[in-house]
Structure formats: structure tokens, C-alpha cells
Structure 1
Amino acid sequence: MNTDEAIALVEGATAEELFGGADAHQQYRALAKLIHPDAIGPRGTKAFARLSELWRSRGTIRSARGVYSTTTLEHRGDLANLYKVPEGHLKLVRDPACNDLMAREAAALRRMAEHADPRYLPYVPRLVDTFRHKADGTARRGNVIGVSATRLHSLAEVQRKRPHGLDPRDAAWMWRRLLVGLGTAHRAGVVHGAVLPEHVLIEPGDHGVVLVDWCYSASEPGERIAAIVPRHRDRYPAEVLDRGEPGPYTDLAMAAGLMADLMGDRAPKALRRFADGCRLASPRQRPDDAWRLLAELDELLHRLYGPRKFRPFAI
């Protein structure tokens, strides 16, 4: 690369395009050597100033709505890296082939924000921003999402720390609130499609529940679940694996299986039969209304344990 090419590159590139490769420091030093005013005189002044500004701003992503930092990688999800930002988390898909799944999440969260009962929106994330980010000639989709709760833990973490099963009275509030979240989504016309341990977050102290990762969702009539999480293949109902049409019965079956696994052998027979009834092979035979199922669950819990009482829970 000669000096003229270096100047043109710096004047036309973004920070991600210049410094998104394996050795950003080497790229900076090479460009600085070519365009520094001490080396080429005044014509390098403007380009070198821009190079310096781009170097300072590396590690940030700009959209039409905001500027987000990628300096704090908090979690590597199935599809995306999650970076901690003041608004919540920036989810940036790793493989551009999964851009459509990130678009599904944005569509689902937008639809729920527009159509769901506002009282129950804390059960799902809030879409702050969605955009396509181009670096190194590759466009990847990013979503910025926020949640109302803090100190969240996934049910995967609960399972790891309670390997012998969770007390059904503790699982009860998690199941109840999960049904509220699903009922909220279903009434807005959205099927989550991946009710898995990593995607259900709880706030132990306040008994909060947030259902995250809506990348696998279906929010349009006739839309199918586009992908699964391979390591959880055995948790999916047949209609997902067979590319059939999903519905509320899909999410309710996965939720029941998750809660049954969480309780393990500690689940009383009546509660296990209840969960099994949600997971019958035929979707037509399963419950398809989360709110009605919640009322039936409450009746069963009352028969088993009496009036509801708040049970402190710690991870």
C-alpha cells in the first residue's frame, strides 16, 4: 500500500473496517507510518487526525440511534455475543448466516411491545435498538435489549446448583410466572419456540422471571421455527423438529418439560401428571392457552400445598 492508498483508506473507512482484524495495533502502526505529517508533510495532517480519531473510537458500534461499546463481553450465547452496555446488552450475531434469526427477535419484541398488556411486559426484554453493522465487508445484525430486573440467573444455573431437584414449591412460582410471560407473548401473536433452561431467567429475591432469546420465535401467521439449539434437541416437540406449524401448545410443552426436569424426582405424582399432559405427542391434545393452564395449575397447587405463600429463594 502506498501513501495515496493509505490516505484514501483512512478517509473512507470506519473504525471497525480498519481495526476489526486480528492485529489492530499493527494496522494502526502501518497506516500511521505512511500518512504521518512528519513523513509526508502537511497533506497528511487531515488523514492522520482522522486515523487518530478512528483509533480512539475503536471498540464501538454506531447505529442511527446510538453508540455502543464492545469492550465488555459478558456472555457468548448460541448465536451472538452479548456486550454489556448502559442500555442493557448489545447482541451481535457471530455468523452473518444467522442475521435472519436476530431479525426475528427484533420483530417479536417489537410486536409484543405494541400489542401485549403493558402490565406484563417486564416478563420479556425491551427492544432498544436494532441495526445492521458492517465491518470487514460483512454485515451482521445487532439488537440492543434491556430488561427491568437485575441479579438474574438462568434456570440452567439453578439446575447445576440443585442437581438433586428443586423443591416443587419453589418451582411453582417459576412455572406460574413463566406461564404469564408465555401468555403475554401468545396473546400478541408470538410463539417463543425455544423455552430452554438458558433462556428462562429468574430474579430470586423478588421472584421475577424474564424469558429471553426470541431469535427462534415465530410471530407471523404460518411461520415456522427456523432453527433449534442442537444440544437441546430432545426438548423440542415433534412439530418443531418436523417443520410443522408451532403454536402456544409448543411453548407450553417445552415449559412443562423444563419444570419437570427442574423438580426431578421431588415432583409429586399429581404435578408430574400435569406436566405430562402438556407434553402429549399430538399438539391437538395439549393445552394451548397459557392463562387457562395457569388457572388449572393454581388449582392443583392449592390442593397440594394450600394457599399460596411467599417462599424466600436463594441460588
Structure 2
Amino acid sequence: IAFVDLSTGEFEVAEFHLNETHRFYDFLAQLTPQEILLTQSRSEIESTFLEELVQRMTQLLDKINSADARSVTSSEQISGLQNAQVFPSTGRFNFIDPYHFDPEATQRNLNNHFETLNLSGYGVDDLPHGIAAAGALLRYLEETQKCDLSHLTALRRYAFDKTMLLDEATVANLELFESQSGARKHTLYHILNHTKTPMGARLFRQWLRQPLLDVEAINERFDCIEEFRNNFMLCEEFRECLENIQDLPRIIGRITLPVVGVNDLVALRESLEPVQKLPTYLAELQAPLLKKIA
């Protein structure tokens, strides 16, 4: 599997074994994709898998995006797409010819995009299926977006060994992001989220959705919290500085795509000054993780 957020430039890959079906669906639920790219089936087994995938993801995404128009994709629609054109527009699900997942072609496409001889520097050499998915996804974006994708600067391996993968039932029962009544208020995220930037809010949501398993990494975060608590005035100044920073990854993404407006450019200009001050604040702190960021 490969996934990309064009607005922020995040581009990641992962792989699952055949016996990890539930884990695979939990992971897809975590991503909440707006569009899913699939290969056209070449066998009855693949058709069965694709039918199950489309049905389960349709149910999940309709539940998450309850405000959106409901869409139902039947097995008849799936079989009808198998002989469709290379990039058929079907809304939420798009099916492409299997040859776009060819290992050599996808590797070559990724190397050309990142201007590298190979992908070893990204630590994904042992994920051949993930690389194939990433190459096919990149080709699809090149064909459909018709714009500069240079803000996709790296391919990151999703590390399952460092974070916990929460299934949808657990997320719902813990009321992390939505209460049992469907409200967003009075959830754990709503209570704890005091972030000052859109990037921080997204990252904090991701951290809640993917709790750390690495004790050392957990302690590093605790050290940062303790240091900020012990430097209250500096922490407040730091937060005031962050408050003036707009959603930089998405502004840069809009500039690259390009769908940028005047307001985006103004927001970028106004964000540059506070961004330049951040290293000054961090330089006064001693926590290893903060020093690494600085």
C-alpha cells in the first residue's frame, strides 16, 4: 500500500501479509482516504478481494464522512470496471491496469521523480509491493493532476513497530475523536488539544490515533513536557509565536499544485518571521528531542 497527501507532501508506503486482513483494514480506516486507487482484477480471487475491500471501505468512509453524499459500489460495478480505460473516473475508487504496478517501471518512475539511482536511502528496499504501489500512485498523480509534484520530496516507510494500530472499535469506545452521541466535543482530543497551529493539531491527532510503543521515545516526549513546564514564561512566548504561524505545509502544497491564492501568499509571508524565531526559543532548552528539532 502507498498513500499520499498532496496538500502536505507526505508520501508513505507499507506492506501487509495475507493473514493480516484485519490489521490492513484498521490501517485504511486510520488513513480515511478521499480516493482509493486499485488494480483491475486479473482473477476470481482478486475480484473477491476487491469486492470486499470496496464494500468495507465504502461503509467505513460513509460512516466517517456522514455529511457527504452516500455512495454504494456494488460487485456489478466492480466487474464492469475491469475492462475500463486506464484511469477511469469513478469517484471514490479508481481502477487502473495491472501493468502500471510493474516492479521495474514503478522503480524507474520513482527514481526519476526523486532523482536517485535507487531507493535504498529511503529504507524501503525490502518492500517491493509497497514500491510498486508507490510508483503506480505517482504515475496516476502525474496523469491526473497535470502539475508539478516536486513537493513530494521523499518516500517514507511507515513504521508499525514503533506505534500501536488502534482498530475502529477501540477508537470509538475510547471516544478519542467522537463521543457515543456523535459529538466532537467532550472527546479526549477535544479536551487535550491546545495546539496553536493546524500542523500541530494534525500531528496531535495522529499521536492519539497512533500511540507510541517505544519506551525511549515516550520518555523523550515526557522530557520535553517537563522542560516546558519548568520554563513557563519561555513556553508562553513560544506558544504566542506559534499562534502566528499558518498552515505552511498546505500553503506550500497549494503553491506547487498550483492552486495558490493571494491570501495564501500573505499567510506565508506573515508566517516566515515567527518561524525564524522558533530556533531561538528552542536553543534555551536542554531536552535531547528539542535540541534535535532545533
User: Under TM normalisation by the shorter chain, which class is it?
Assistant: under 0.3
Larger helix percent:
2
Structure with bigger gyration radius: 1
Larger strand percent:
1
Q: Which has the higher contact order (CA 8 A, sep 6+)?
A: 2
TM-score (norm 1): 0.26
